[in-house]
């Protein structure tokens, strides 16, 4: 296999806005098909972006034996159904985060794909960006001492009642959409799981989705905190404070692809700003996904990572109901 032949389930705004163009620049991937429940929508996207085949149903695309893998940017509540159907069709799967609605579902899905011998990757694109590799290397090599706390702030303002992120039964809400990053980051940097969590959650009076969620994650000798909101000004930052220094990731998640990324590092020697040359993290993610399949390379993150992240997310939701600490099982 010289190129991974990729099909896309859904003409989503996320795919069009952030994914299609960087993937078309890759040497090891070809987007060969796109599907929508409305054929005209798939046909229009195929024409605009030079995709060979358009399908009027997701299953029709999965029935195409020439396709090696699929990218699933569907609403959260549809991930499990279509990941299983893709696995049944023998397709490798890159699924948008969060991969499932709860940890039991995530565990079931991982095992389902393993039994069918297909690769399953959760699409946390930030892990593939060199700025995050640099941050983790600084921590791992003890350049700022032992991490004491990590704080993540992430927000945007989305008042639209018809937007899928504001529909509760679709898996909408700030915690699943952006809180999953705030949970993933400290796990990624500390390379371990929190023991327990405590949280507060505010719901929208009409949508019923969480619009402001705050939490403390207890990692024993370190803590992580976060505030995520879908009713606040667009803002995002991650601060890592350690015993001998600190790091600030200024644009941690929606990192621009056409300007350098910047992280600030401060130690006893002084403060420095590190610039990372422009890269497209979505292209890097799909490139790494393709290499897993083409070169039979080991995953950059174990499939169990999706289960573990969901366990923490579930505990945050439980804590918002119990109003007390909840153990991460």
Dihedral sign for Cα 201, 311, 198, 240, please: negative
What are the beta bridge partners of residue 267? 245, 270
**pLDDT for residue 302 is more than 80:** no
Are 42 and 15 a contacting pair, CB within 8 Å?
no
User: What pLDDT is stored for residue 2 in this prediction?
Assistant: 86
**pLDDT for residue 248 is more than 80:** yes
Active-site position among 3, 41, 85, 97: 97
User: What pLDDT is stored for residue 298 in this prediction?
Assistant: 67
| 165: Cα within 13 Å, side-chain hemisphere | 22
What confidence tier does 111 reach under pLDDT thresholds 50, 70, 90?
Answer: very high
As a whole number of angstroms, the distance between CA 134 and CA 100 comes to 29
What confidence tier does 264 reach under pLDDT thresholds 50, 70, 90?
Answer: very high
Residues ≥6 apart with Cβ < 8 Å to 97: 122, 123, 124, 180, 306
Are 95 and 83 a contacting pair, CB within 8 Å?
yes
Q: Is 307 helix (H, G, I), strand (E, B) or coil?
A: helix
Sheet holding 29-35, edge to edge: 53-55, 29-35, 4-9, 69-72, 92-96, 120-123
The DSSP secondary structure of 216-269, one letter per residue, reads EEE-SS-EEEEEEESEEEEEEEEEEEETTEEEEESS-SS--SSS-EEEEEEETT
User: What pLDDT is stored for residue 299 in this prediction?
Assistant: 62
User: What pLDDT is stored for residue 329 in this prediction?
Assistant: 84
- Predicted confidence (pLDDT) per residue in 132-187, tens digit: 999 999 999 999 999 999 999 999 999 999 999 999 999 999 999 999 999 999 99
User: What pLDDT is stored for residue 300 in this prediction?
Assistant: 57
Count of other CB atoms within 10 angstroms of residue 139:
21
Average pLDDT over residues 213-225: 98
- Predicted confidence (pLDDT) per residue in 47-63, tens digit: 999 999 999 999 999 99
User: What pLDDT is stored for residue 217 in this prediction?
Assistant: 98
User: What pLDDT is stored for residue 5 in this prediction?
Assistant: 98
How big is the chain by its Cα radius of gyration, in Å? 20
- Predicted confidence (pLDDT) per residue in 55-96, tens digit: 999 999 999 999 999 999 999 999 999 999 999 999 999 999
And the tokens for 272?
Answer: 């420095």
Asked if 97 is an active-site residue, the reply is yes
**pLDDT for residue 127 is more than 90:** yes
User: What pLDDT is stored for residue 301 in this prediction?
Assistant: 57
């Amino acid at each position: 296999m010289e190129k991974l032949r990729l099909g896309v389930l859904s003409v989503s705004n996320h795919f069009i806005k952030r994914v299609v163009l960087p993937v078309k620049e890759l040497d090891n991937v070809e987007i060969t098909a796109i599907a929508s429940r409305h054929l005209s929508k798939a046909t229009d996207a195929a024409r605009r972006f030079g995709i060979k085949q358009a399908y009027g149903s997701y299953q029709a695309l999965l029935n195409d034996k020439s396709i090696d893998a699929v990218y699933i940017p569907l609403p959260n509540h549809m991930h499990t159904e279509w990941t299983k159907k893709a696995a049944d069709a023998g397709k490798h799967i890159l699924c948008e985060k969060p991969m499932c609605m709860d940890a039991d579902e995530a565990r079931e899905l991982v095992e389902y794909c393993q039994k069918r011998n297909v690769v399953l990757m959760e699409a946390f694109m930030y892990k593939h960006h060199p700025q995050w590799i640099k941050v983790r290397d600084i921590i791992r090599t003890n350049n700022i001492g032992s991490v004491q706390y990590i704080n993540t702030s992430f927000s945007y303002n989305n008042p639209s009642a018809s937007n899928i992120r504001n529909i509760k039964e679709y898996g909408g809400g700030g915690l699943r959409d952006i809180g999953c990053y705030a949970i993933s980051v400290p796990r990624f940097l500390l390379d371990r799981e929190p023991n327990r969590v405590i949280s507060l959650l505010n719901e929208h009076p009409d949508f019923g989705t969480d619009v402001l969620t705050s939490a403390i994650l207890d990692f024993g000798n370190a803590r992580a905190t976060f505030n995520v909101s879908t009713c606040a000004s667009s803002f995002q930052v991650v601060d890592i404070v350690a015993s001998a220094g600190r790091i600030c990731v200024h644009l941690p998640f929606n990192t621009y692809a056409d300007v350098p990324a910047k992280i600030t590092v401060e130690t006893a020697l002084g403060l420095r700003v590190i610039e990372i040359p422009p890269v497209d993290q979505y292209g890097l993610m799909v490139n790494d996904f393709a290499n897993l399949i083409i070169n039979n390379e080991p995953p950059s993150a174990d499939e169990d990572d999706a289960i573990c992240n969901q366990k923490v997310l579930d505990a945050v939701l439980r804590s918002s109901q119990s109003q007390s600490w909840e153990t991460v099982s």
